[in-house]
Structure 1
Amino acid sequence: MSTWSSLYLEVTYQVLGWIAFASWSFSFYPQVILNFRRKSVVGLNFDFLVLNLTKHSSYLIYNAALFFSPEIQNQYHEKYGYDEMIPVAANDVAFSIHAVLLTIFTLSQVLIYDRGNQKVSKICILISSTAWAAALVCLIVAWPKHSWLWLISVFNTLQVIMTAIKYIPQAFMNFQRKSTVGWSIGNILLDLTGGLLNFAQMAVQSIDQNSWVNFYGNIGKTLLSLEVVFFDLLFILQHCVFYPVDKKKKVVEQRVPEGTIAPLIDSPDNSKETV
């Protein structure tokens, strides 16, 4: 089994990994704090949250399984070579656990704070349900032959797909409202930092091992970082260039009449109002 050739690069790898963990983990808090201060989640797309939970749950399954299971690690080495290092670090597992918990907490804010007329769309529910149904089918297929590496690779692919999809409702909602009010830019800046550091961490491992296998051996992590950088740059453009906040004007938020609360899940009668 491969070991580090350079102590300096090993330390650098760990430092970059935990800074990335901190950046990505802290990226959840600006939105949580913003929701708390406003006592409102208007402007935060609920489809994003639901898809985000599916994404992070899938990523947690992949990271934890590959990091903790000797059997899956052996299958990885059989496929990519015994001289290759496992492409999942402790900070990846820690981040995934934290991300699932914070996403659940943010969803709980949706239940207690003013949400205007926003709802979870039927399309979002369909996508999430289909994803988990497909994962269940793959589990049934993998079970007889113990094809665990293939199975967790399915979850890794699933999280990549969910990452690509989850940002679209929020980006489109910002476009429709011509505003990013209610969507924390602090979240985006920290998220972007984590994505860039993630790339740097993988590059350090590749330099030490003189191999780029970890980039395609954990293609999900590679694509995740690419997607994060792309969408975060888009959100920064929306916030700073396309729809800058005019602090001299009061921002009028769309709210439901006092004393009423819109249903959280879209109903057939209100499907046309879904974001």
Structure 2
Amino acid sequence: MRITETIEASNEKHALSLIHEKYGRLTKLDISMVTELQEPLEEIEQTKKYYSSSQYEDKEIIAMIEKINTNQASSDYYIAIKAHFSPILNNVVANSNYNDLSRSEKEQYQLDLLNNIIRRFVPKFSSHRGQFLSFIKMKVKDDMQKMYDRQKNVNSNNRQQMRSRFEVMKEYAEANMLVENIDLDTQQHNLIHTIQKLGKYDEVENIQKYRRIVEETHERIHQLGLHVRLKKKRQKEIYILYYGPKQLKQKEIAKLLNITQPNVSITLRRAKSNIWASILEININE
């Protein structure tokens, strides 16, 4: 369907926003003629800000990003780039598909996407790829979906084998209730296999609904003796005190070891990440 519309607007961006407000998001949109008004509009219709109000042209943004990537830019450049792409980032992350994300998770996604714009997307742009902002919006939208799938699912690159991380973790937690007649080697093998299916620790630890299962998995790591893979003595010591038979609280560990509770928290967090990474490296086929 082709739409031809004549409208009065204060500038091209305002005109585009008016069209979007009236017809919704259109796949292709172009202003073929602009006639300057002799008198300013007395009343300008307010619209949603679909387009960045940045003062910079595309070529200026590209030049600034080139300087950022070659370590020739000041912090002001980064601030300007962030402001320029904020409308796109806000719009993509606010999509209803991602309503289950917490506010902090959305903020982290925006930071990751902005970094990808700077490091990956803009350096790949060339004029034959179309309009600059349209290209960036397409890349950001696709990247957001991929990152979300990696966080929420295992085998996210294979639609037929993709499964929710929560389902995998729940299945393992339920299976662990019936382990009395299974030998130690088999239990270790099953736990290692499950952790390797879940993937990187930072993709599961900060998701609210996974936390209880993650904590139970660490208890299981200790029960099955896999914590011995921790190389640093202090990390292993705190990990055992926290997940072992005593299951001390962080403040109790701090008092016992005569260190601060924040120190315990940091060391425990590193121990959890390191033991998980170590288990990911195990070749269970050997």
Q: Decide which structure has greater helix share.
A: 1
Q: Which has the higher contact order (CA 8 A, sep 6+)?
A: 1
Same fold, TM-score > 0.5, yes or no: no
With the length of structure 1 as denominator, give the TM-score of the two structures.
0.21
| Bigger Rg, which one | 2
